[in-house]
Amino acid sequence: MVKTLEKPAAKTVNFRVGSLEVLMASTKEQLHAAQRLRYKVFCLEMGAKASKEMKAARRDFDEFDELCDHMLVIDHEKNGKVVGAYRMLRRSKLPKGRKFYTQGEYDISRALKYFKGEVMELGRSCVDRAYRTRSTMQLLWRAIGEYVALHNVELMFGCASFPGYRYRIHATHLAYLYHYHLAPIEFRPVARKIRRRRKPMNLIDKYHLDKRECLTTLPPLIKGYLRLGGYVGDGAFKDKAYNTTDVCIVLKTDQIADNYATRYGTKEKD
């Protein structure tokens, strides 16, 4: 018997392009498939540290999964194999007294106060290596755009990563983000000072940066956020558990609505 998730989304996103379909997880089996993909990408490929329980189950999971909506990309030519995943947590679904995952690394209190309506955390983005193409990412971004519209989300935020926690190897990119994409002060996240894990981003003077080269060579996910009008918070964060150097991304949806529509096809062009 297939078990359904305890709190499925009241509104859903679902569409298909070719053999790939985007849908919201509605069963435990689908959630577990997404967690297995996360384990494959984060732990086996990127070197994240897995707990004994994760290793035994071969799934990446945490206490936030039960609160989130999980967006999946499945391939019907591979018997419905999950090849992409994203998870979303809206403020309206966050139980009283609980915090967002991002708050473990960043102080986002300014953003939570500045935006009075619905805000949403994006996280655990991963795509199977064989499907890391422009078309797969377009599907995910189109789906996120539809989800934002369904739930009237005003702000999206979350941690995005560079591979490896030795942050100085990312000095050029971190400095570029700091000098050219720092969030406005009124809703700017700030990296938390936890056991020397907060690291400066302003490591190189802006006049020594090649803006075009920096943007071109950014990780695809971070580049995608910026192209949709995203900003970054102040400070990088060393995540040794996941072997990454993190930055905090914030995106105002009123600024990116047209970009979603034209770049990812959520409405007809004029």
Beta bridge partners of 186: none
Q: Which residues contact 6 (CB under 8 A, 6 or more apart)?
A: 66
Q: Exposed, middle or buried by CB within 10 Å (0-12, 13-18, 19+), for 216?
A: exposed
Residue 199 structural domain = 99-117+152-264
* pLDDT, tens only, 144-163: 999 999 999 999 999 999 99
Q: Which tens digits make up the pLDDT trace of 187-211?
A: 999 999 987 899 999 999 999 999 9
Phi/psi for 41 (5° steps) reads: -75, -50
Q: How far apart are CA 188 and CA 127, in angstroms?
A: 29
Q: For residue 259, is pLDDT > 90?
A: no
Domain annotation covers residue 76: no
Place of tokens 């849908």: 23
Query: How many domains, the chain?
Result: 1
- Res. 134 pLDDT band, cuts 50 70 90: confident
pLDDT at 71 over 80: yes
Residue 12's pLDDT is 83
Half-sphere exposure of 84 (CA within 13 A, CB side): 24
User: Is 127 within the bounds of a domain?
Assistant: no
C-alpha distances in angstroms, 88 versus 106, 134, 209? 17, 21, 34
Structure-model confidence comparison of residues 138 and 157, the more confident one: 157
Instruction: Judge whether 187 lies within some domain.
Output: yes
- Cα separation, 258 vs 240, in Å, equals 37
